[in-house]
Structure 1
C-alpha cells in the first residue's frame, strides 16, 4: 500500500518546523504534496515510538494530496525538549 505512490514521493517537500506552545516549543515535520491539497492531517506520535516510524505513512499521505504535520512524541521530550542547561553544577 505505502509503496504504491513511491514514484510520486520525489515531488513531496519535507520541512522541519518549530513553533511556540505556551512556555515550550513544539517540533515537527511538515510534508507538502506536489499538487493541490484535498485536506490536512496531523499525525501525533505514540509514546516510546521512534520519531521516524511514521515517515513512510506521512509521505504516502502527501503523495495522495494530503499535507500533514507529524509531531513526534510528547511536549518537553525528544525533539520538543528545551535546550540543555549549561553551567549548572547541582
Structure 2
C-alpha cells in the first residue's frame, strides 16, 4: 500500500487518454494495448486528473459535488492507489 500525500499531483501516464465512448455509454481509458471501460465513480475521479490539481483538490471537488458521502476521501485515495498500481496514472 502506497501512502500518497494529499499535496501530490496525479497525471495520466503518457499514451493514456480518457474519453466518452457513446457505444459503451461510459467513459473509457484508452491506451496502446487496449481500453478500460470505467464505472461512473472511476470516471469522476479521472476527469479531475489534469496534471495540475493535487489529490486534495480532487477530494475537495468531489466532496462538494457529493456531500454527505461517508468515507469519500478514503475511496478516492483507494482508487488513486489502484489506478497507480494499474499504471494508468503517475503520482508526482
Q: TM-score, normalised by structure 2?
A: 0.28
* Rg larger in structure: 1
Query: Greater strand percent: which structure?
Result: 1
Q: Which structure is higher in helix share?
A: 2
Greater RCO structure (CA 8 Å; 6+ sep): 2
